[in-house]
Amino acid sequence: MTFPHLSLVADPHDRRGLHRTDDAWLEREWADPAGRVLVISGTRVRPGAEGLEWLSTSEAPDGLRLLLGIRDEVTWWAVIVPGEVARAEPDRWLPLRGLLPFLAGDRPGEAPLVFHAIGLAEWHWSHRFCPRCGGALLPRAAGHELVCADCGKPQFPRSDPAVIMLVAAGEPGAPDERCLLGRNHSWPEGRFSTLAGFCEPGESLEDAVRREVLEETGVAVGEVRYFGNQPWPLPSSLMLGFHGRALSEEIRLEDDDVEDARWFTREEMRRQAADGSLVLPGGVSISRSLVEDWYGGPLPGSW
């Protein structure tokens, strides 16, 4: 079975991390007319009529250069320009979530480049001052490092580990086996998804799964099995997918983030997804892959 979320990480680029501090190599690659550049205003990108626009290096505006790497013998870059550019045309410049429909098409390898670029842009936007002394942070290493102008402490991009889980109850594969889905109070009627939450300091990923499910729904989880992962720079998460086996089935909603949670059999899920009363996560998300892996195949409808 092909999982839909893998399309966003397929055919990744060579990040060339060892060249990020080689100024001569960087200048030589920037001078190559074959190089391609994604322009980011703050943390937003302006797509064109046929998808994302990659400029040549000679067409790129002045700004902070980010080396993304090499793919298909082409060097790929991003340039960050001030956020005022996007604010002047708010309807044309989109955040990463608005770009996802452009990244699910027939241009393999583009999504990892865009995730890399916007993830760095989000980091630069949110890390302007040193957390140790409050001094100004200056970029180096082709945008992959910040160093304090006052105390010299370096800062590096980080991804926050978040667990996302499909919890099932009953005999595996049996007709009455059920999976647990929840919904946020801000979502449209009928939209449900797998549960998720951030891993806390000193906590294993498996224990994070058990804690989050218990806190959000009151359901105790025993066995936890790793499924896969997906980079999700919205703004800086790494989604770590798991399947869990419930030890209890009574639902108690005590977390304000979860408005409703329900158990669904495969037949209930198929029927409700087909008639639109159940709206499942989008195909590019690992949440969708977790649901369809448990269900055993593709399902109709999505966000």
Average pLDDT score over the chain:
94
List, in sequence order, every residue forming a beta bridge with 38; answer none if it has no partner: 78
Q: Compute the residue count for the chain.
A: 303
130 token code pair: 């040193």
- What pLDDT, on a 0 to 100 scale, did the predictor assign at position 234? 85
Statement: residue 65 has pLDDT above 70: yes
Q: What is the mean pLDDT of residues 193-222?
A: 98
Question: Beta-carbon neighbour count of residue 270 at 10 Å?
Answer: 16
- What pLDDT, on a 0 to 100 scale, did the predictor assign at position 303? 74
Statement: residue 107 has pLDDT above 80: no
Write the CA distances from 265 to 167, 173, 177, 216, 303, integer angstroms.
Answer: 12, 10, 6, 20, 20
288 token code pair: 């969708």
- What pLDDT, on a 0 to 100 scale, did the predictor assign at position 67? 98
- What pLDDT, on a 0 to 100 scale, did the predictor assign at position 298? 93
User: When comparing pLDDT for 278 and 49, which is higher?
Assistant: 278
Q: What is the mean pLDDT of residues 267-279?
A: 96
- What pLDDT, on a 0 to 100 scale, did the predictor assign at position 3? 85
Per-residue pLDDT of 149-174, as tens digits, reads: 999 999 999 999 999 999 999 999 99
Q: How confident is the model at residue 105 (pLDDT cuts 50, 70, 90)?
A: low
Q: How confident is the model at residue 106 (pLDDT cuts 50, 70, 90)?
A: low
Q: What is the mean pLDDT of residues 124-152?
A: 97
CA neighbor of 247 nearest in space, from 265, 222, 224: 222
- What pLDDT, on a 0 to 100 scale, did the predictor assign at position 7? 79
- What pLDDT, on a 0 to 100 scale, did the predictor assign at position 210? 98
- What pLDDT, on a 0 to 100 scale, did the predictor assign at position 284? 86
Exposed (0-12), middle (13-18) or buried (19+): which is 138, by Cβ within 10 Å?
exposed
Per-residue pLDDT of 252-262, as tens digits, reads: 998 888 999 99
CA neighbor of 294 nearest in space, from 214, 170, 178, 195: 178
Q: How confident is the model at residue 49 (pLDDT cuts 50, 70, 90)?
A: confident
| b/e sequence 63-84, b meaning 16+ C-beta within 10 Å | bbbbbbbbbeeebbbbbbbebe
Quick one: 160-295 is in which CATH superfamily?
Nucleoside Triphosphate Pyrophosphohydrolase (3.90.79.10)
Out of 99-103, 144-148, 197-201, pick the least confident.
99-103
**End-to-end Cα spacing for the chain:** 21
Written in H, E and C, the secondary structure of the chain is CCCHHHHHCCCCCECCHHHCCCHHHHHHHHCCCCCEEEEEECCEECCECCECCCEECCCCCCCEEEEEEEECCEEEEEEEECCHHHHCCCCCCECHHHHHHHHCCCCCCHHHHHHHHHHHHHHHHHCCECCCCCCEEEEEHHHCEEEECCCCCEECCCCEEEEEEEEEECCCCCCCCEEEEEECCCCCCCECECEEEECCCCCCHHHHHHHHHHHHHCCCEEEEEEEEEEEECCCCEEEEEEEEEECCCCCCCCCCCCCEEEEEEHHHHHHHHHHCCCECCCCCCHHHHHHHHHHCCCCCCCC
Out of 62-76, 94-108, 129-143, 203-217, pick the least confident.
94-108
What is d(CA 197, CA 242) in angstroms, rounded to the nearest whole number?
A: 12
Query: What is the domain partition of the chain in residue ranges?
Result: 4-126, 131-157, 160-295
